[in-house]
Amino acid sequence: MSAGKWKASEELLRMFQAVGRASLAYDIQDSHSGNMAVRWTDEGGENVIVITAAGSQKGELDRSQICFLSPSETDYGYYKASSETDVHARILSLPGVGASMHAHVKELVIATLDDGPKPAAVPPFVPVDPLGFYHLGGLVPIDWFAVPSGSPEMTRTIPERLAGHVLTLVWGHGAMTKGRTLKETFFRLCVANNAGAVVRQMGVLGVDVGGLRRKILADPGAQFAYPPPEYEVEGDERCDFPEEEEILGEFVKTGHRIFESRLSPFHTGSMSVRGVDAMLYAPKASMPREIGGPLLKVSLEPAASDDPETAVHKAIYAASDFQTVLHCYVPEAEAQAHFVSPGESAPADRIIPIDAEGTFLYLVIPVLPPKFETETLLRFLHEYKVVIVRGGGVWAVGAQSLSEVLHHPSSLREILLYRLGAFERGLDLRKMEPKKAKRW
């Protein structure tokens, strides 16, 4: 690779490195697994495929581990590149595709394992959370391969799957996905892993996942609060308030923590800070280090163009004196919002902490149905500061700072992990819940 070409592609190298490190941080890769590829046009107008080298550590990529290949000829780079280069090349030839990625999305792989004989047709995975259902097109195809890495069968089948779907799963191995950009492929992989985590935890809790899937497929609008906003590939560098250095730093720091603490998958959720007549707004709240997202100044006045996410932020500010709002998709919250206690016929309308700090901070955490009334959400936010919406994520509010509002979903996830762990041990959660919480 010439020095001139590398100079022209420094931004591309940095993106590979950033996505690689974020993949490791989000635990959808091991030290050496997976691969990334993009279509790229050099300064001379030549189209090439840029792909990670075989055996490279995606969290520690350097120039020597990025290969530039001809899209139509087999050259030296093919022998250095990933063993799945042919698969990526075919995916990248699909209309509108600019990037492809393979990752070991462990939560989704675990959620789809079975002990039946192979080979056999494997049914597709249907997400039961709003992010997974809407962003992955309602289902994820799954294929079993005798040789699940670089085989001719994979090279043929996976591009066929991705011609009609945004992501596909190799049984017991991991996912392949397509996107317009490398960040979009990473977004889809994170959403898929999150969808697997929700289903896996529901299985532990004994939730009727099959019944829930039938309801979702029959009428998704009734089971989810609203479709999340479409993923935007442009505008991540936009910042409408660069002069506000202190609050800008708080947005960046909070975005890192949301991502690293698994409070919401990459570039999902939203957060805002109230101003005089506008709110400072991050529509892609979960932002790993080195990969930011848009930071906007948005009028507090309702507008016909507002998506449902933005509209809820504005409604909260219009009816309260809260200064900060945070919305995220905690997988443990979605799973436990559907939990039916033994002897009950429906999920509870509250989560009761069983750990010492959780019981000190919150009497209960309310759980609202998907089609909640905004007035009800506001009332509970005034009383409890954090609310779970079944099929709609976690909403939290603060009176001062983003750090204050971040504490609520962070504490909530810990509360839910304790409850899940106690249930796995066979303990009776009802015996562990403080009696005063039953009289909320």
Domain residue spans of the chain: 9-218, 245-439
Residue 255: predicted pLDDT:
98
| pLDDT tens-digit readout, 300-311 | 999 999 999 999
The secondary structure element, H or E, covering residue 270 is strand 270-274
Least-confidence region, from 41-50, 255-264, 336-345, 356-365? 41-50
Least-confidence region, from 76-90, 205-219, 258-272, 311-325? 76-90
- 167 three-state secondary structure: strand
Least-confidence region, from 3-17, 94-108, 419-433? 3-17
Give the integer Cα–Cα distance in Å for 375 and 29: 42
- The pLDDT-based confidence of 7 (bands split at 50, 70, 90) is very low
Strand partners, 242: none
Q: Do 255 and 285 meet the contact criterion of CB atoms below 8 Å apart?
A: yes
Position with higher pLDDT, 220 vs 74:
220
Give the integer Cα–Cα distance in Å for 371 and 322: 23
- The pLDDT-based confidence of 82 (bands split at 50, 70, 90) is low
| Mean pLDDT, the chain, whole residue set | 92
Position with higher pLDDT, 74 vs 88:
88
Say whether pLDDT at 368 is over 80: yes
Residue 407: predicted pLDDT:
97
Give the integer Cα–Cα distance in Å for 72 and 53: 18
Instruction: Write the CB contacts of 212 (distance below 8 Å, at least 6 apart in sequence).
Output: 128, 202, 223, 338
Mean pLDDT along residues 279-286: 98
Residue 83: predicted pLDDT:
65
Say whether pLDDT at 6 is over 50: no
* DSSP letters for 35-96: EEEEEEE-TTS-EEEEEEBTT--GGG--GGGEEEE-SSS--HHHHHB-TTHHHHHHHHTSTT
Mean pLDDT along residues 24-32: 92
Residue 418: predicted pLDDT:
98
Q: Under CATH, which number does the domain 245-439 receive? A: 3.40.225.10
Percent of the chain with pLDDT strictly greater than 70: 95
Residue 47: predicted pLDDT:
86
Tell me, yes or no, if the two domains 9-218 and 245-439 fold the same way: yes
CATH superfamily of 9-218: Class II aldolase/adducin N-terminal domain (3.40.225.10)
Give the integer Cα–Cα distance in Å for 213 and 245: 46
Locate tokens 């436990």: which residue? Answer: 336
Mean pLDDT along residues 380-388: 97
Query: Other CB atoms closer than 10 Å to residue 304's CB: what's the count?
Result: 4
| Beta-carbon-side half-sphere exposure of residue 331 (alpha carbons within 13 Å) | 24
* Lateral strand order in the sheet of 142-143: 66-69, 47-52, 35-41, 99-103, 174-179, 167-170, 142-143
Say whether pLDDT at 79 is over 50: no
Closest to 353 in 3D by CA, of 411, 275, 282, 295: 411
Q: Environment class of residue 307 by beta-carbon count within 10 Å: exposed (0-12), middle (13-18) or buried (19+)? A: middle
- The pLDDT-based confidence of 146 (bands split at 50, 70, 90) is confident
Give the integer Cα–Cα distance in Å for 427 and 421: 9
Percent of the chain with pLDDT strictly greater than 90: 80
